[in-house]
């Protein structure tokens, strides 16, 4: 909700003179009725009234005071926000502190001239969007990508939200910053994607974040390069036996396609992970599964997101650095360098020009984007059947975690010694409370009876990762028992994201109404440790996180206002972003905030030292005999990530080591040139690569592109000719049926919308088995083609099963054939 300007509230004349120091002093007091302490006490602003009362999280005596005395204005002593009971709205005062006392030496401090301190105009109940955008823009890894790697922000997908976001970030962080920015273009793009955000109703800030980040990923995602494997090169004479993975089970998806020894090593690692989680002998009966891309939903449940899994296999080879040469001028030639001992040799499969016959089974594509690089983590969860002891394990990707806020009984259970012991034995989150003794627990429990539950962010994490008993209406469907059984679910973090987004579940939505949990959750500004929630076989090195920004919601479930507190990366000071207003605040003010969404970043002093070391190498100005090219995206990771990972130049190189023809025109946006001493240091520290000191357009890729275009044209021309003849045939003897789902994939390929040809023809979804004979399923999504067209497509793609309809033979068959007229409509446009 937008704040009301001072001229909109007729009750401001009743406000007495008050200073920030007086409000801070009152914040250390108690409710004058129930004696409860802060945070979130409210002080009456009526002239001469000293009343201080509690808010909604307790007995709400501040509201009672207003109703009894008709004192309309009150200020939150934690956030310094002003509320008018008579108007039912928030009131925007001068820096929300009221006029300053003429006897006070306190003066409003001017904002320093640092970038990133620009407000966002509220354009109609858009505080939820403004708070989310400010919190997201103060995440350095993401913001620096849009600022430093602007040339990589390319998309042909509507509404090109990444372009709008890039422009917004550029305006917010420009040196000559305006006082505020109007985010109209981005808001229009969001409304075009999701109708929920149309109109001027208040929306949920976390849902807006999810929608924005999903769309940015979709527009910026790039396909990950497939492993260099000669057995998967696409040739005309491939035999069917070369690719027989049609029935690959889910467990195999966790194992890289390597030799049997490596597979056994991976399986042993999998068994160790399950043993760590459950304490059950894995050799008894274990089922490991993976899902496409499950995401932790805003309700705390697991849901599958419709994008491919963003898991990048590590590069296991390290090419040798080339022998230095003198006087390299950065430019791109049209030919590759000749093979030399200093350059890694190309795979023989890449030296030959491959033809584009389709693979027998279409591989699942894997993608990555700056969003997945920054926010993606992995949770490994296991479910144990308490009847047969069978354990199933699932790897689940997440970009945010929705944490419950435990109540008194939940806290008592989490802190109890018995529960801690069971959790530690079960491999869950008991380690989070292992250092805490009985004395500290009893003291906190006694305090909770007087001042309400003392909930920490660690409590919320512990509640999320605690073992979950599956019983009653939530029983586990055991695949071995083939029945609903009682079970136990455990989960841990397998990989940690660079930035951890935590959503506190403050809102409960029932059929007729919604409620809000106003319990104060304390959270650390530095040193959030995720080690207790990490799987024992996790390769994560950095487990400590520091707070970047926090989105806060003030008010009720039906009427409230969003703001954001963000730590400026330039001066490390905290600021409150309240629509157009930007105000410096203390750390105490941030910690007393009613957090809703928190952004934490990995903290690694070694990464900071490494950046200083590389900066020193740059400043040495040492004469370099050779210049090396490195990915601009990876260099941005090095500058902003705690763990940048191995050097990856795959975003500007093809599998053959050259520049893909479609990227040659903007290669300068993709690479940065480094002197030899800097490259040698980075390469020895991080590995990866490959080393590149010569850019050339890949002739192999160019040839493949030309052959692909030729193939597309040949297939399209032949189909049009055959289908035209079929349409002119008055009474065909036999009509062949084809799945429209497969046909659309083929159509997308020949029209150039998809670079990969479709897999084999799959008619399984349009057939039904009747008395041992395959017939066309009633109402199936199928089309009709001639025998010649079927033979033509089948000769290229294979597949089946063969399904024909003979007109005038059977009344039922005639009805089925007459209902399938879509192929003519679909293909005439071709």
Which pLDDT score is estimated for 508? 86
Strands 799-800 and 761-762: parallel
User: If pLDDT is split at 50, 70 and 90, which confidence band does 317 have?
Assistant: very low
- Decide: 55 and 81 in contact? Cβ < 8 Å: no
**Model confidence pLDDT, tens digit, residues 211-253:** 999 999 999 999 887 665 444 333 333 333 334 333 333 333 3
Instruction: Give the sign of the dihedral formed by CA 121, CA 126, CA 128, CA 129.
Output: negative
Over residues 34-45, the mean pLDDT reads: 85
Q: Tokens for 629?
A: 């090219």
Which pLDDT score is estimated for 8? 62
Which pLDDT score is estimated for 341? 32
- DSSP 8-state assignment for residue 322: P
**Separation CA 120–CA 183 (nearest Å):** 7
Which pLDDT score is estimated for 748? 92
pLDDT surpasses 60 at 345 = no
Among 248-252, 603-607, 701-705, 776-780, name the one with the lowest average pLDDT.
248-252
**Model confidence pLDDT, tens digit, residues 417-443:** 444 444 443 344 445 554 445 555 555
Q: Is 561 annotated in the active site?
A: yes
- Decide: 125 and 1 in contact? Cβ < 8 Å: yes
Q: Which position has the token pair 């027998």?
A: 360
Task: Identify which of 222, 337, 340 has the alpha carbon closest to the alpha carbon of residue 697.
Answer: 337
Q: Tokens for 688?
A: 């990866």
User: If pLDDT is split at 50, 70 and 90, which confidence band does 820 have?
Assistant: very low
Among 348-357, 362-371, 475-484, 726-735, name the one with the lowest average pLDDT.
348-357
pLDDT surpasses 60 at 359 = no
**Separation CA 359–CA 354 (nearest Å):** 12
- Decide: 197 and 204 in contact? Cβ < 8 Å: no
Q: Tokens for 207?
A: 């849902």
Q: Which position has the higher pLDDT, 435 or 595?
A: 595
pLDDT surpasses 60 at 183 = yes
Residue positions counted in the chain: 830
Which pLDDT score is estimated for 298? 35
Which pLDDT score is estimated for 457? 95
Residue tagged active-site, from 58, 61, 561, 656: 561
Residue 15: CB atoms within 10 A of its CB come to: 20
- Decide: 270 and 535 in contact? Cβ < 8 Å: no
Which pLDDT score is estimated for 216? 96
The most confident of the ranges 165-169, 334-338, 407-411 is 165-169
- Decide: 464 and 300 in contact? Cβ < 8 Å: yes
801 prior amide bond cis, ω within 30:
yes
Q: Which position has the higher pLDDT, 223 or 92?
A: 223
**Separation CA 576–CA 502 (nearest Å):** 19
Instruction: Give the sign of the dihedral formed by CA 665, CA 669, CA 670, CA 676.
Output: positive
- Decide: 294 and 308 in contact? Cβ < 8 Å: no
Which pLDDT score is estimated for 228? 53
Run of H or E residues at 564: strand 560-567
Which pLDDT score is estimated for 418? 40
- Dihedral (Cα; 450, 453, 456, 457), 10-degree rounding: -160
Among 15-29, 128-142, 336-350, name the one with the lowest average pLDDT.
336-350
Of all residues in the chain, the percent with pLDDT exceeding 70 is 72
**Model confidence pLDDT, tens digit, residues 726-737:** 999 888 888 999
Q: Tokens for 363?
A: 């591989």
CA distances in angstroms from 671 to 149, 166, 303, 623, 761, listed in the order given: 10, 19, 37, 21, 41
Q: Is 437 exposed, middle or buried (0-12, 13-18, 19+ CB in 10 A)?
A: exposed
User: If pLDDT is split at 50, 70 and 90, which confidence band does 93 have?
Assistant: low
**Model confidence pLDDT, tens digit, residues 438-459:** 555 555 555 555 555 679 999 9
User: If pLDDT is split at 50, 70 and 90, which confidence band does 722 have?
Assistant: very high
Which pLDDT score is estimated for 271? 52
**Model confidence pLDDT, tens digit, residues 484-524:** 999 999 899 999 999 999 999 999 877 777 889 989 999 99
Residue tagged active-site, from 54, 84, 127, 478: 127
Task: Identify which of 528, 354, 540 has the alpha carbon closest to the alpha carbon of residue 458.
Answer: 528
CA distances in angstroms from 511 to 298, 299, 426, 515, listed in the order given: 18, 15, 37, 11
Alpha-carbon Rg for the chain in angstroms:
31
Cα angle 307-308-309, degrees, rounded to a multiple of 5? 120
Over residues 583-603, the mean pLDDT reads: 95
**Separation CA 561–CA 554 (nearest Å):** 5
Over residues 627-633, the mean pLDDT reads: 95
Among 98-112, 468-482, 532-546, 695-709, name the one with the lowest average pLDDT.
98-112
Which pLDDT score is estimated for 395? 92
Task: Identify which of 67, 70, 25 has the alpha carbon closest to the alpha carbon of residue 43.
Answer: 25
Q: Which position has the higher pLDDT, 225 or 557?
A: 557
- Decide: 617 and 678 in contact? Cβ < 8 Å: yes
- Decide: 173 and 230 in contact? Cβ < 8 Å: no
**Separation CA 287–CA 535 (nearest Å):** 18
The most confident of the ranges 99-108, 221-230, 266-275, 476-485 is 476-485
Q: Tokens for 500?
A: 């951890």
User: If pLDDT is split at 50, 70 and 90, which confidence band does 89 have?
Assistant: confident
Task: Identify which of 381, 416, 379, 378 has the alpha carbon closest to the alpha carbon of residue 278.
Answer: 381
Q: Tokens for 369?
A: 């984007």
Which pLDDT score is estimated for 444? 54
Over residues 529-556, the mean pLDDT reads: 93
Residues 6+ apart with CB under 8 A from 400: 206, 209, 210, 296, 375, 501, 502, 503, 597
- Decide: 214 and 165 in contact? Cβ < 8 Å: no
**Separation CA 804–CA 787 (nearest Å):** 9
The per-residue pLDDT of the chain, averaged, comes to: 77
- Decide: 59 and 88 in contact? Cβ < 8 Å: no
Q: Tokens for 133?
A: 């955008």
The pTM for the full model equals 0.69
Which pLDDT score is estimated for 275? 55
pLDDT surpasses 80 at 645 = yes
Which pLDDT score is estimated for 410? 83
The most confident of the ranges 76-85, 88-97, 323-332, 725-734 is 725-734
**Separation CA 211–CA 192 (nearest Å):** 11
**Model confidence pLDDT, tens digit, residues 368-413:** 999 999 999 999 999 999 999 888 999 999 999 999 999 888 888 8
User: If pLDDT is split at 50, 70 and 90, which confidence band does 58 have?
Assistant: confident
């Amino acid at each position: 909700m937008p704040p009301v300007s001072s001229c909109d509230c007729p009750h401001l004349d009743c406000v007495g003179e008050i200073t920030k120091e007086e409000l801070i002093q009152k914040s250390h007091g108690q409710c004058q009725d129930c004696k409860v302490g802060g945070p979130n006490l409210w002080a009456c602003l009526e002239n001469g009234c000293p009343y201080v009362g509690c808010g909604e999280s307790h007995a709400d005596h501040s509201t009672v005071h207003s109703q009894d005395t008709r004192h309309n204005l009150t200020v939150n002593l934690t956030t310094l926000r002003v509320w008018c009971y008579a108007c039912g709205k928030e009131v925007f005062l001068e820096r929300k502190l009221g006029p300053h006392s003429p006897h006070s030496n306190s003066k409003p401090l001017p904002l320093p001239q640092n970038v990133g301190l620009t407000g966002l105009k509220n354009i109609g109940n858009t505080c939820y969007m403004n708070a989310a955008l400010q919190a997201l823009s103060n995440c350095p890894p993401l913001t620096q990508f849009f600022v430093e790697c602007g040339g990589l922000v390319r998309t042909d997908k509507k509404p090109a939200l990444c372009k709008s976001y890039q422009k917004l970030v550029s305006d917010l962080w420009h040196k000559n910053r305006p006082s505020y920015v109007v985010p109209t273009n981005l808001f229009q793009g969001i409304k075009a994607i999701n109708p929920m955000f149309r109109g001027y109703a208040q929306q949920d800030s976390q849902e807006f974040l999810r929608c924005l980040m999903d769309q940015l990923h979709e527009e910026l995602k790039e396909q990950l390069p497939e492993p260099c494997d000669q057995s998967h090169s696409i040739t005309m004479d491939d035999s069917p036996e070369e690719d027989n993975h049609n029935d690959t089970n889910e467990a195999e998806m966790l194992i890289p396609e390597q030799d049997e020894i490596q597979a056994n090593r991976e399986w042993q690692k999998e068994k160790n992970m399950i043993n760590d989680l459950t304490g059950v002998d894995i050799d008894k009966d274990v089922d490991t599964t993976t899902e496409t891309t499950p995401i932790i939903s805003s309700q705390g449940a697991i849901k599958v997101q419709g994008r491919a899994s963003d898991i990048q296999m590590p590069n296991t080879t390290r090419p040798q650095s080339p022998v230095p040469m003198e006087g390299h001028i950065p430019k791109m030639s049209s030919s590759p360098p000749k093979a030399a001992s200093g350059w890694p040799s190309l795979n023989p499969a890449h030296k030959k020009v491959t033809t584009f016959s389709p693979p027998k089974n279409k591989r699942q594509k894997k993608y990555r984007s700056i969003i997945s690089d920054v926010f993606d983590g992995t949770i490994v969860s296991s479910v144990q059947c308490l009847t047969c002891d069978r354990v199933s394990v699932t790897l689940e990707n997440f970009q945010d975690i929705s944490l419950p806020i435990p109540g008194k009984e939940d806290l008592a259970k989490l802190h109890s010694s018995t529960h801690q012991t069971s959790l530690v034995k079960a491999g869950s989150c008991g380690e989070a409370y292992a250092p805490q003794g009985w004395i500290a627990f009893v003291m906190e429990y006694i305090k909770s009876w007087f001042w309400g539950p003392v909930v920490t962010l660690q409590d919320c994490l512990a509640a999320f990762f605690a073992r979950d008993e599956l019983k009653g209406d939530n029983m586990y469907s055991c695949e071995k028992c083939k029945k609903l059984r009682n079970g136990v679910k455990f989960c841990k973090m397998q990989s940690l994201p660079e930035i951890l987004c935590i959503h506190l579940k403050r809102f409960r939505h029932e059929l007729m109404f919604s409620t809000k949990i106003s319990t104060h959750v304390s959270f650390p500004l530095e040193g959030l440790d995720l080690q207790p929630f990490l799987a024992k076989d996790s390769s994560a090195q950095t487990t400590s996180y520091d707070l970047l920004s926090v989105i806060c919601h003030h008010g009720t479930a039906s009427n409230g206002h969003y703001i954001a507190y963000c730590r400026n990366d330039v001066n490390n000071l905290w600021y409150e972003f309240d629509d157009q207003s930007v105000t410096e605040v203390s750390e105490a003010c941030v910690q007393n905030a009613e957090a809703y969404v928190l952004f934490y970043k990995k903290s690694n002093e070694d990464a900071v030292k490494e950046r200083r070391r590389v900066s020193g190498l740059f400043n040495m100005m040492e004469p370099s005999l050779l210049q090396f090219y490195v990915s601009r995206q990876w260099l941005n990771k090095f500058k902003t990530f705690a763990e940048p990972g191995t050097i990856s130049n795959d975003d500007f190189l093809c599998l053959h080591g050259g520049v893909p023809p479609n990227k040659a025109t903007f290669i300068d946006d993709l690479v940065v040139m480094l002197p030899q001493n800097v490259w040698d240091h980075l390469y020895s520290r991080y590995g990866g690569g490959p080393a590149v000191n010569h850019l050339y357009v890949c002739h192999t890729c160019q040839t493949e592109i030309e052959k692909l275009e030729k193939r597309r044209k040949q297939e399209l021309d032949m189909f049009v000719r055959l289908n035209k003849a079929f349409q002119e045939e008055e009474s065909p003897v036999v009509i062949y049926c084809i799945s429209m789902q497969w046909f659309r994939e083929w159509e997308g390929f020949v029209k150039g919308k998809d670079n990969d040809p479709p897999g084999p023809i799959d008619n399984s979804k349009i057939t039904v088995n009747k008395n041992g004979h395959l017939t066309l399923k009633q109402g199936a999504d199928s089309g009709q083609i001639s025998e010649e067209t079927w033979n033509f497509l089948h000769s290229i793609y294979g597949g089946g099963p063969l399904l024909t309809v003979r007109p005038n033979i059977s009344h039922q068959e005639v009805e089925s054939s007459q209902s399938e007229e879509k192929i003519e409509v679909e293909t005439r446009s071709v």
